[in-house]
């Protein structure tokens, strides 16, 4: 359904807090009472007084059923209940994408993040929020940093215990964890402890977690900047080394919301580092070996970007793949058709970066650069390693790199 297909009055999207009906203003109460159909969770619908409207609880799963559900009631006055602010990780965002913002009237309440920061005295504008509602808990990991504060929107009552375990396992066990339950309601409660010895059993399912991060000084430091230590990844040794990886991801120039194709994934290092730069960055990595595909998925989960899509051999497994904003060619350069398939599908204005370590693949970079332009550079990394009682510089293989932007109007 689109905004153009929607007839009748706009869908009213009403935020309701844990304080229920009493917390709504008179205007919003009138909106709900004037409805013919009210959608919401069973908990939200139970907060409403008796009325002439029909109550329709959300089905599970919701998203696949939502278009048909709205179409079925398209000629009726509809109200949708949301928790707090509907446009803050709420159903309002989904509806705006589905029917268009012009088909909605949104009536927000304070978000759970606003209420949490009010209770804790934290600056809302400076506090990152991570939702783990229908998302893997590991997505919290890239946000962790010493002395940083963040909020985690919980899936249910089990999230705080799982979050404490995640913090312990990733070098943040000394962090203070505060669970805020039923914010704004009569049963509001705050529970505090450290992740290392979290003392509280699962409580109310309506909660969010506040984390005041304290890093273990002996644990490897992992930031969103590319160039994680090589031992951050596991695998068979097929990975782009940290220094080359930092230069490569920088050349790919990720921006929020962009999609990368990582061709010849190996251990998944480039795709993972690309996605860690911003939570909205996406990546598809192509790897022909099943064992490596499993390892890429494991590395992506361990480093907090489990949404990295792992596919099989390239270009055989291209069906349904969306066009990329950037492409990294780290493997298969000498395979017929790989570069052409990447170049053809790369969006105009998109970037392609290819690394070569053999003379044969380097010759291809020279030929492609002659045909399409771009920039060539070559570098070699030396690392200091023990040699007896001294330190010697051990060279890694030199890497030739080609960086090119696809022109508009080019195919």
3-state SS, one letter per residue, for the chain:
CCCCCCCCCCEEEEEECCCHHHHCCHHHHHHHHCCCEEEECHHHHHCCCCCCCEEEECCCCHHHHHHHHHHHCCCCCEEEEEECCCCCCCHHHHHHHHHCHHHEEEECCCCHHHHHHHHHCCCHHHCCEEECCCCCHHHHHHHCCCCCEEEEECCCCCHHHHHHHHHHHCCCCCCEEEEEECCCCCCCEEEEEECCCCCCCCCCCCEEEEEECCCCCCCCCCCCCCCCCHHHCCCCCCCCCHHHHHHHHHHHCCCCCCEEEEECCCCCHHHHHHHHCCCCCEEEEECCCHHHHHHHHHHHHHCCCCCCEEECCCCCCCCCCCCCCEEEECCCCCCCCHHHHHHHHCCCCCEEEEEECCHHHHHHHHHHHHHHCCEEEEECCEEEEEECCEEEEEECCCEEEEEEECCCCCC
What is this structure's pTM? Answer: 0.91
**213, 214, 217, 220: CA torsion to nearest 10:** -20
- pLDDT of 374: 97
- Whole-number Å distance between alpha carbons of 233 and 227: 11
- pLDDT of 6: 55
Please give the average per-residue pLDDT across 81-106, as a whole number: 94
Q: Are strands 176-181 and 189-194 parallel, antiparallel or unpaired?
A: antiparallel
- Whole-number Å distance between alpha carbons of 176 and 210: 8
Model confidence at 223: pLDDT above 50: yes
**144, 146, 150, 154: CA torsion to nearest 10:** 50
- Whole-number Å distance between alpha carbons of 328 and 251: 10
- pLDDT of 7: 57
pLDDT in tens, 25-82: 999 999 999 999 999 999 999 999 999 999 999 998 899 999 999 999 988 999 999 9
- Whole-number Å distance between alpha carbons of 409 and 411: 7
Least confident of 200-214, 230-244, 269-283, 362-376: 230-244
* N-term to C-term CA, the chain: 33
State the CB neighbour count (10 A cutoff) for residue 327: 25
User: How sure is the predictor about 1, in pLDDT bands with cuts at 50, 70 and 90?
Assistant: very low
Model confidence at 125: pLDDT above 60: yes
Handedness of CA 95, 100, 104, 110 (dihedral sign): positive
**Residue 283 vs residues 257, 291, 405: alpha-carbon distances, Å:** 10, 19, 18
CA angle at residue 6 from 99 to 87, to 5 degrees?
30
User: How sure is the predictor about 246, in pLDDT bands with cuts at 50, 70 and 90?
Assistant: very high
Instruction: Map 95-155 to HEC letters.
Output: HHHHHCHHHEEEECCCCHHHHHHHHHCCCHHHCCEEECCCCCHHHHHHHCCCCCEEEEECC
Per-residue tokens: 216:
């273990």
Provide, rounded to the nearest whole percent, the portion of the chain with pLDDT above 90: 89
Please give the average per-residue pLDDT across 331-354, as a whole number: 93
| Sheet order of strands, 351-356 included | 309-311, 282-286, 259-263, 326-329, 351-356, 399-405, 375-379
- Whole-number Å distance between alpha carbons of 210 and 183: 13
- pLDDT of 2: 44
CA angle at residue 170 from 164 to 174, to 5 degrees?
55
- pLDDT of 4: 40
Model confidence at 310: pLDDT above 70: yes
Axis crossing angle, helix 338-345 with helix 359-372, rounded to the nearest 10: 30
Please give the average per-residue pLDDT across 302-331, as a whole number: 92
If you average pLDDT over every residue of the chain, what do you get?
94
State the CB neighbour count (10 A cutoff) for residue 177: 24
- pLDDT of 3: 40
**Residue 387 vs residues 127, 194, 229, 333: alpha-carbon distances, Å:** 47, 44, 22, 36
Please give the average per-residue pLDDT across 165-170, as a whole number: 97
């Amino acid at each position: 359904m689109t905004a153009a297909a929607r007839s009748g009055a706009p869908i009213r999207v009403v935020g309701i807090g844990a304080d229920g009906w009493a917390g709504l203003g008179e205007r919003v109460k009138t909106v709900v009472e004037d409805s013919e159909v009210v959608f919401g969770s069973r908990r939200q619908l139970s907060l409403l007084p008796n009325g002439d409207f029909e109550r329709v609880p959300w089905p599970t799963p919701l998203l696949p059923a939502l278009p048909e559900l709205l179409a079925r009631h398209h000629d009726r006055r509809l109200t949708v209940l949301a928790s707090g602010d509907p446009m803050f990780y709420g159903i309002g965002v989904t509806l705006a994408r589905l029917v268009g913002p012009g088909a909605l009237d949104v009536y927000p309440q304070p978000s759970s993040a606003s209420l949490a920061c009010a209770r804790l005295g934290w600056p809302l504008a400076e506090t990152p929020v991570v939702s783990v509602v229908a998302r893997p808990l590991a997505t919290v990991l890239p946000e962790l940093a010493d002395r940083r504060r963040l909020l985690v929107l919980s899936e249910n009552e089990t999230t705080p215990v799982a979050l404490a375990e995640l913090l312990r396992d990733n070098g943040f066990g000394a962090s203070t964890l505060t669970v805020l339950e039923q914010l704004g309601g009569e049963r509001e409660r705050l529970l505090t402890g450290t992740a290392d010895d979290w003392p509280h059993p699962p409580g109310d399912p309506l909660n969010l977690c506040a984390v005041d991060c304290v890093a273990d000084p002996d644990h490897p430091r992992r930031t969103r900047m590319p160039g994680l230590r090589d031992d951050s990844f596991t695998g068979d040794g097929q990975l782009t080394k940290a220094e080359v990886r930092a230069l490569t991801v920088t050349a790919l120039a990720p921006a929020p919301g962009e999609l990368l194709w990582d061709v010849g994934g190996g251990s998944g290092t480039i795709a993972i580092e690309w996605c860690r730069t911003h939570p909205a960055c996406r990546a598809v990595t192509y790897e022909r070996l099943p064992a490596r595909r499993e390892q890429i998925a494991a590395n992506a989960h361990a480093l907090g970007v489990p949404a990295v899509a792992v596919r099989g051999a390239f270009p055989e497994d291209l069906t349904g793949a969306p066009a990329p904003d950037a492409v990294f060619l780290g493997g298969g350069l000498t395979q017929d058709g790989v570069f052409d398939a990447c170049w053809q599908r790369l969006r105009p204005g998109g970037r392609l970066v290819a690394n070569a370590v053999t003379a044969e693949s380097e010759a291809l970079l020279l030929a492609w650069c002659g045909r399409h332009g771009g920039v060539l550079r070559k570098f070699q990394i030396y690392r200091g390693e023990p040699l007896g009682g001294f330190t010697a510089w051990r060279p890694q293989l030199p890497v030739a790199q080609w960086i090119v932007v696809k022109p508009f109007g080019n195919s």
